[in-house]
A and B are shown apart, each in its own frame.
Chain A
């Protein structure tokens, strides 16, 4: 059962903010993470799918059915909220059984299915506890169980992990992914945490100012961001603006940087992207793109070390596992990417994986 958004537009009255020209399809069993800064419209997007807001234009299609004008309760979607929104006066079992109760499933049957689902999320021994006596992670599992127990057509996750302890999040990521795969349903995961998006999603949808600016696999988003702002938003990045020179160079504030051959006309404004792990320590074998440097900040992160290397004309952010003193760095040309400069807010056509 797929979720499809076709040309969806929505503007908040008076505010001018909203979502514009949204085209997105989520396949059965696929998890699409939608990321963006706060106010970029990612939560509004979820509201369109869930039916909490109705689009001004465009269609929401779930399982081949146009649900654009249907109320949330008619859409058969499992929604997990940031603050879980469990019913405080019902036990975990009653919470999970509630969607079955409103569907008039017989009491015995719904309690059985609720217990079964709680077991699947590893909460069998907490079935009779009230939400107030459960930890954040446990409440989140109850919320997940409640959203899945009635075999919804899709799963919508609205920042489900942001209220959890940092240590618990990776665990719950895996848990959500496991349950979603088990059910084989389409999932839309809203998050502001790019690491969460990259690690969980089949595809990542990046939103900016109400528009989808890139929809692609996590590796593609990271390796080939469509715009400068996506590059800056996803992961760590060195970004420099300059002009193309010759067939294999770019003139930057920090000097001339050698690139793989390109066919840009002389003097084209471009943005150069270098991920910190692609900055190498020490002299280059061929002396290309090599800079003497002074490390001004050095952060030891355990498995790696992230440093600011001050060179003539700027600072380079680098990552290395080497522990030695850094006096020279170099950037191999094949590690450099060019992003076209210019207006970045143009919507892109969705790329299928």
Chain B
């Protein structure tokens, strides 16, 4: 029963958005009237949405690439580090972005990067950096817990006893073993980056605003247009989530065969 109420609560706004995006008029009525696909066409033809869509895509891709390059070695080091101090420090640094609201991070960015020494506020790269900081913890968590779950250390010891060097172990055993968790973690990173609003709203330059920030403007205009623009974002996020679910499932198939 509670689940049902929760699902209704969750899906009603989404359903309304969806209906609204195809409705011709929607003012002061419970449901919109008329049927049209024009709102999507308008979103598609809107130059600021076009630009925002491309910015979001670029930021997300760059964010994924950088997060992968930074987090994989970090997770590996964290997993292998016996020193509790190191473990704690890395964990703290990595989890801080989850604990601290993005708003705080955004103000920090504004303070630091609007100075004369570092006048980078508004650049796309700063936006990417912000997203990287926000999403690292999620991939890090996924990777480290999967390393534990898959008993990576045991596999590595075994590979080493069989004569594999560090690089052989890393490329033959570590990376292939982690490819599923890397993929599912990255899809989470992508979904977070696509939908990120708080930080982006504060630090994005006018011409490098990502999709969610531009989307806010849409709500000052026609309802149908706003609904259509939101559905586009929703579709992107769902695509990422579905991708994540599929990767996670195929990963668990491999894991399912592992002896406990």
User: Which A positions have Cβ atoms within 8 angstroms of B?
Assistant: 50, 52, 71-73, 76-79, 81, 83-89, 98-99, 101-103, 130-133, 136, 139, 146-147, 150, 163
Q: B255 — which chain A residues lie within 8 A by C-beta?
A: 88
Q: A101 — which chain B residues lie within 8 A by C-beta?
A: 172
- Chain B 152-172 interface mask (CB, 8 Å, partner A; 1/0): 001101111111110010001
How many A-B contacts at CB < 8 Å in the complex?
78
Assuming the contacts A88-B177, A132-B258, asked whether A150 and B158 have C-beta atoms less than 8 A apart, the reply is no
Q: Is the CB of A73 within 8 A of B164?
A: yes
- B154, B168, B256, B257: the one contacting A83 at CB < 8 Å is B154
Q: A84 — which chain B residues lie within 8 A by C-beta?
A: 259
- Chain B 119-163 interface mask (CB, 8 Å, partner A; 1/0): 000000000000000000000000000000011001101111111
Q: Is the CB of A81 within 8 A of B254?
A: no
- B162, B177, B254: the one contacting A102 at CB < 8 Å is B162
B176 within 8 Å of A (CB atoms): yes
**Which has the most chain B C-beta neighbours within 10 Å: A50, A89, A103, A146?**
A89
Q: Is the CB of B161 within 8 A of A88?
A: no
B14 within 8 Å of A (CB atoms): no
Q: Is the CB of A85 within 8 A of B164?
A: no
Q: B232 — which chain A residues lie within 8 A by C-beta?
A: none
CA of A249 to CA of B162 in the docked complex: distance in angstroms? 57
Q: Is the CB of B168 within 8 A of A102?
A: yes
CA of A73 to CA of B177 in the docked complex: distance in angstroms? 21
- Rounded to whole Å, the gap between the CB of B176 and the closest CB of chain A is 5
Q: A78 — which chain B residues lie within 8 A by C-beta?
A: 161
30 contacts between A and B (CB under 8 A): A52-B157, A52-B161, A71-B160, A73-B165, A78-B161, A79-B161, A81-B154, A81-B158, A84-B259, A87-B155, A87-B159, A87-B173, A87-B177, A88-B150, A88-B254, A88-B258, A89-B177, A89-B254, A98-B172, A101-B172, A102-B159, A102-B162, A102-B163, A102-B165, A102-B168, A103-B163, A130-B254, A132-B257, A132-B258, A150-B162
Look across to chain A and name the residue whose beta carbon is closest to the beta carbon of B257.
A132
CA of A102 to CA of B162 in the docked complex: distance in angstroms? 8
Q: Is the CB of B164 within 8 A of A102?
A: yes
Q: Is the CB of B258 within 8 A of A73?
A: no
Q: Is the CB of B154 within 8 A of A73?
A: no
Q: Is the CB of B158 within 8 A of A85?
A: yes
CA of A103 to CA of B164 in the docked complex: distance in angstroms? 8
Q: A147 — which chain B residues lie within 8 A by C-beta?
A: 162
Main secondary structure of the interface of B (DSSP, over half): helix
Q: Is the CB of B259 within 8 A of A139?
A: yes
Q: A77 — which chain B residues lie within 8 A by C-beta?
A: 161
Q: Is the CB of B257 within 8 A of A85?
A: no
CA of A84 to CA of B154 in the docked complex: distance in angstroms? 9
- Rounded to whole Å, the gap between the CB of B67 and the closest CB of chain A is 23
- Rounded to whole Å, the gap between the CB of B6 and the closest CB of chain A is 36
Assuming the contacts A83-B151, A88-B258, A89-B177, asked whether A98 and B159 have C-beta atoms less than 8 A apart, the reply is yes
- Rounded to whole Å, the gap between the CB of B5 and the closest CB of chain A is 40
Look across to chain A and name the residue whose beta carbon is closest to the beta carbon of B176.
A89
Look across to chain B and name the residue whose beta carbon is closest to the beta carbon of A99.
B162
- Rounded to whole Å, the gap between the CB of A53 and the closest CB of chain B is 11
- Rounded to whole Å, the gap between the CB of A86 and the closest CB of chain B is 8
Q: A52 — which chain B residues lie within 8 A by C-beta?
A: 157, 161
- Rounded to whole Å, the gap between the CB of A190 and the closest CB of chain B is 14
CA of A132 to CA of B257 in the docked complex: distance in angstroms? 3
Assuming the contacts A52-B157, A85-B157, A132-B254, asked whether A150 and B163 have C-beta atoms less than 8 A apart, the reply is yes
Q: A73 — which chain B residues lie within 8 A by C-beta?
A: 160-165
Q: B165 — which chain A residues lie within 8 A by C-beta?
A: 73, 102
CA of A103 to CA of B258 in the docked complex: distance in angstroms? 27
Q: A150 — which chain B residues lie within 8 A by C-beta?
A: 162-163
- Rounded to whole Å, the gap between the CB of A12 and the closest CB of chain B is 12
Interface residues of B in 219-234 (CB under 8 A from A): none
**Which has the most chain A C-beta neighbours within 10 Å: B150, B165, B256?**
B165
Q: Is the CB of A85 within 8 A of B154?
A: yes
